[in-house]
Amino acid sequence: MFELLTFIIVVIVVFGLVLENIRIKNKNIELMFMLTQSYIDTNAIKDQITKTDDIEKDHLIKFLSDTRDLAFNHIENVNNHLLEFKKVIDDETLNTNDNSLNNIFDAFNKLKNIYPEDMPND
C-alpha cells in the first residue's frame, strides 16, 4: 500500500513537472518573439534617427548656404551705398554752393535706409 501511494505521488510530481516544463517552454517562446520584435523595433528606430539626422544636416547646410548668400548680398549692397555716399561727399566738398549740404544730407538718408528694420538708426 505504501509503495502504491509513493508511486502515485511520484507520478503526480512528474506530471506536475512536465506541465511546468511545458508552461516555461511556452513562456520562453513568447519572450523570444518579444525579444525579436524589440530588436526589429530598435533597428527601425536607429534607421529613422539616421534619416532624421541626414534631413537635419541637409536643412542646416541649406540654411547656412542661404544665410551666407544673404550676408554677401547685404555686404555688397552696403558697400555700394557707401561708395555712392563717398562719391557725393567727394563731389560736394569740391563744390561750395548752397545745395551741397542738402545733397550730403540726402545721400546720408539713403545710406540710413539700408539699415535692417530691427536695427536702431542712431
Alpha-carbon gap, residue 50 to 22, rounded angstroms = 42
Domain ranges within the chain, ordered by starting residue: 2-112
Please tell me the predicted confidence (pLDDT) of residue 38: 92
pLDDT value of residue 21: 94
**pLDDT value of residue 118:** 61
pTM: 0.47
pLDDT for position 106? 81
CA distance 119 to 106: 20
pLDDT tens track of the chain, all 122 residues? 889 999 999 999 999 999 999 999 999 999 999 999 999 999 998 888 888 877 888 888 899 999 999 989 988 988 888 888 888 887 777 776 667 777 777 888 887 777 766 655 54
